[in-house]
Amino acid sequence: MKVHKTFEEHPPNSPGIVKDIVEAKFNFIGGKIPDLLSKFITLLGNEKEEWGGVAAMKACMNAFFSWKNGDPKQKDKVPIVKDLEEFLFSTNCYVQLVIQGHPDRPSTSMAVIQGAFDPPAIPKTVKGPNCPSTIKATTPKGVCPPMNPKTLKGTDRPSTSMAVNQDVVNNTHVPPASPKTLKVKIYMGTGWNNKDFRKLSSPPSLYVKLILVHGLMKQLKIDGGESHQTKVHTKTVTPCWGEEFVFPLSRPRDVNLIVEVYDHRSKQFAGKIGLLVSERKQGIHTILLSNQDGNPCTSRLVVRLMFD
């Protein structure tokens, strides 16, 4: 997809236009976009970046159809919009968003934006199983191959998906060799239930806390690090934040991003994951959270990581 200044090839970002692009490609049951996808469309539509919003959704759909056409069981089925939602909110898909153009102006009309389905690389995670403020580096022994999103019971009940912490949308425009800043955008979350977190309010009022921890602090078991947190999203199990935070990077290859979720009303822990920044490509990721015991749970966040 070449990016030009014409409306047809590069319409401006807005929730309505992103929705129109989705509606043009899918059959609808009941004439309504599913709730999670609708919220994600709104968040993308509010983005100002040329490579976000409309371009990001087109890449997501390209990846969906690449997966569908490559699966003999799905190839001849008529796609419905619920399939796209389940594809994007499962943690077993990887969508590549490539941006190429002038090295100093990657978002100009010279840019080329493409979407493609590709197997994920093996990620590294940091877990703190017993205490939200502690971290312990762990590396998975392997990563499950992409699975059929139909194996999910539903996007609010993704417990049947076995893959953990894999990318949903990855922007492979090459960041600086030694990036100075990390930008983290928290889009939304889903999957909170009483089974994983029995003491949460019903429904919970959730917020996300981000902590950037450098390797020396981890080795010395020092709590702290630069932190930010989102606003509280009240009384919902599918909170939508759409907030971005900037962290300075002094040693980008030795940094952990700790992501914690809490219920403001009950003051209870609601999930956590630690990400080794050097092992994460810039782009949009769906990350599966862990409970207090360090076990993966059904709750997950959709986030974007960008390096400057």
Q: What is the pLDDT of residue 93?
A: 57
Percent of the chain whose pLDDT exceeds 90: 29
Highest mean pLDDT among 115-119, 125-129, 177-181: 177-181
State how far the Cα of 275 lies from the Cα of 213, in Å rounded to an integer.
Answer: 10
Q: What is the pLDDT of residue 252?
A: 66
State how far the Cα of 202 lies from the Cα of 224, in Å rounded to an integer.
Answer: 31
The model's confidence at residue 145, banded by pLDDT at 50, 70 and 90, is very low
The model's confidence at residue 9, banded by pLDDT at 50, 70 and 90, is low
The model's confidence at residue 176, banded by pLDDT at 50, 70 and 90, is low
- Tell me which residue has tokens 């009941």: 30
pTM check: above 0.85: no
Go through the domains of the chain in sequence order and give each one's CATH number.
15-117 (no CATH), 125-307 (2.60.40.150)
* Among the ranges given (75-84, 103-112, 246-255), the one the predictor scored with the smallest mean pLDDT: 103-112
Which residue would you say has higher pLDDT here, 166 or 12?
A: 12
Q: What is the pLDDT of residue 140?
A: 35
> Tens digit of pLDDT for each residue in 198-210?
888 888 999 999 9
**Joined tokens for residue 35:** 């709730």
**If you average pLDDT over residues 287-299, what whole number do you get?**
91
State how far the Cα of 203 lies from the Cα of 127, in Å rounded to an integer.
Answer: 26
- Tell me which residue has tokens 């008529």: 78
Q: What is the pLDDT of residue 271?
A: 95
pLDDT higher than 60, residue 99: no
3-state secondary structure the chain: CECCCCCCCCCCCCHHHHHHHHHCCCECCCCCCCHHHHHHHHHHHCCCCCCCCHHHHHHHHHHHHHHHHHCCCCCCCCCEHHHHHHHHHCCCCCEEEEEECECCECCCCCCEEEEEECCCCCCCEEECCCCCCCCEEECCCCCCCCCCHHHCCECCEHHHCCCCCCEEEEECCCCCCCCCEEEEEEEEEECCCCCCCCCCCCCCCEEEEEEEEEHHHHHCCCCCCEEEECCCECCCCCCEEEEEEEEECCCHHHEEEEEEEEECCCCEEEEEEEEEHHHCCCEEEEEEEECCCCCEEEEEEEEEEEEC
The phi, psi pair for 141, rounded to 5°, reads -70, -25
Which residue would you say has higher pLDDT here, 52 or 110?
A: 52
**If you average pLDDT over residues 154-160, what whole number do you get?**
41
Q: What is the pLDDT of residue 95?
A: 63
